[in-house]
């Protein structure tokens, strides 16, 4: 007798159930966190969602394809600076001739900026991937690390002879996101309930994460995803089997970079300010640690790693100070030092006892006799 189990295997049912639980948790999280933690923790969660976007993008390159990218934060910077230039008075101030065409200044909608940021970042991803196709491992890591530093230094010094990025001072006055006439700034009141713009950004970021997850899942289970897996496991064998490794690796760089560019555009709109200091090597390492900690190539694991490494340090920062006050009557050790200590210790312990990550794929999590 034909049953539902015939058409929907247990693994697929579990995946669908997990997805719906994740969507429900994503929808309810600010309603649970806001009343107890206030706007500070809503802001922390908003940044955690930005890191999830970055981790999902890097996971395509590192997790799906097995290419070690140490300069991924460069695409974040590219998306952020593009959004800053297209939605702030900076360009019209530096180039008065633009006022003839944009008398009110450049204030493009986020609906236009996000696709442009994805396209520009993807183009730079291809530029990075093209000369590094023959490199793997440490050599690729060094090249990508250099690329990330070049972009940061370029943003820092591109204020002369023509001031494009405003150098180390950064670009301020960036317009907040706006969708269908709804401006993501200040307070809004609906049906007698006051809602902060932090909540609006949260749900905007959550919607983008669901879209990125959908694309990643479809890619992972497609012919493209299987080709990436073959390249990750053995590139020479994949080439022997007729896989065009060049094109698939470039596609991985482009797709990952596009998601990084989207996250950067959202960061600029959310912060209202960008500067080169926001895109340091430490940020690249942090995003890579999120992917490795959660489980490379496993989308739920990557999300878990991003949440832990973005939100847990903030929890330690805010709790260790009051805890020392309660125990010793004064703050003996700077909470920032304790935060970094626990951060590093947690990574060491995970790599020792869970080298495949906290939530690896079933293949990587299996124990072989």
The pLDDT tens digits for 79-101 are 999 999 999 999 888 888 888 88
Name the token pair of 5: 């189990």
* 8 A C-beta contact, residue 151 and residue 77: yes
* 8 A C-beta contact, residue 264 and residue 120: no
**DSSP string covering 280-310:** -HHHHHHHHHHHHHH-TT-HHHHHHHHHHHH
Say yes or no to pLDDT of 4 above 60. Answer: no
The pLDDT tens digits for 132-157 are 888 888 898 999 999 999 999 999 99
Antiparallel, parallel or unpaired: β 273-274 and 193-196: unpaired
- Please tell me the distance from the alpha carbon of residue 89 to that of residue 171, in angstroms, as a whole number: 9
Residue 9 has a pLDDT of 61
- Please tell me the distance from the alpha carbon of residue 81 to that of residue 83, in angstroms, as a whole number: 5
- Please tell me the distance from the alpha carbon of residue 362 to that of residue 297, in angstroms, as a whole number: 11
Four-point Cα dihedral 8, 10, 13, 19, nearest 10: -140
- CA nearest 256: which of 72, 66, 26, 50? 72
0.85 surpassed by pTM: yes
In this structure, the number of other CB atoms found within 10 A of the CB of residue 156 comes to 18
């Amino acid at each position: 007798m034909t049953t539902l189990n015939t058409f929907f295997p247990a693994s697929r049912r579990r995946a669908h159930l997990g997805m719906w639980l994740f969507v429900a948790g994503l929808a309810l999280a600010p309603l649970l966190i806001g009343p107890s933690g206030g706007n500070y923790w809503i802001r922390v969660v908003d940044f955690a969602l930005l890191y999830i976007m970055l981790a999902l993008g890097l996971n395509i390159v590192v997790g799906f394809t097995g290419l070690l990218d140490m300069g991924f934060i460069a695409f974040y910077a590219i998306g952020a600076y593009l959004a800053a230039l297209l939605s702030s008075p900076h360009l019209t101030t530096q180039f008065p001739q633009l006022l003839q065409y944009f008398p009110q200044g450049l204030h493009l909608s986020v609906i236009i900026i996000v696709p442009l940021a994805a396209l520009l970042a993807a183009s730079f991803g291809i530029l990075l991937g093209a000369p590094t196709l023959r490199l793997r491992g440490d050599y690729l890591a060094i090249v990508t690390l250099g690329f990330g530093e070049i972009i940061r230094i370029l943003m820092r010094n591109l204020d002369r002879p023509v001031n494009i990025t405003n150098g180390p001072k950064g670009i301020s006055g960036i317009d907040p996101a706006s969708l269908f006439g709804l401006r993501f700034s200040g307070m809004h009141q609906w049906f007698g309930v006051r809602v902060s713009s932090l909540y609006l950004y949260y749900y905007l970021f959550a919607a983008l994460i669901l879209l990125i997850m959908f694309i990643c899942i479809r890619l992972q289970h497609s012919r493209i995803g299987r080709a990436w897996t073959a390249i990750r496991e053995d590139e020479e064998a994949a080439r022997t089997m007729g896989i065009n490794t060049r094109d698939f690796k470039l596609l991985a760089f482009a797709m990952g970079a596009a998601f990084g560019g989207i996250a950067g555009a959202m960061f600029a709109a959310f912060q209202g300010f960008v500067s080169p200091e926001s895109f340091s090597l430490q940020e690249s390492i942090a995003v890579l640690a999120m992917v490795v900690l959660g489980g490379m190539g496993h989308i739920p694991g990557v999300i878990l790693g991003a949440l832990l490494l973005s939100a847990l340090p903030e929890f330690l920062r805010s709790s260790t100070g009051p805890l020392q006050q309660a125990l010793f009557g004064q703050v003996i050790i700077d909470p920032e030092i304790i935060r970094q200590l626990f951060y590093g210790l947690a990574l060491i312990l995970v790599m020792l006892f869970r080298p495949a990550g906290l939530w690896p794929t079933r293949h990587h999590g299996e124990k072989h006799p």
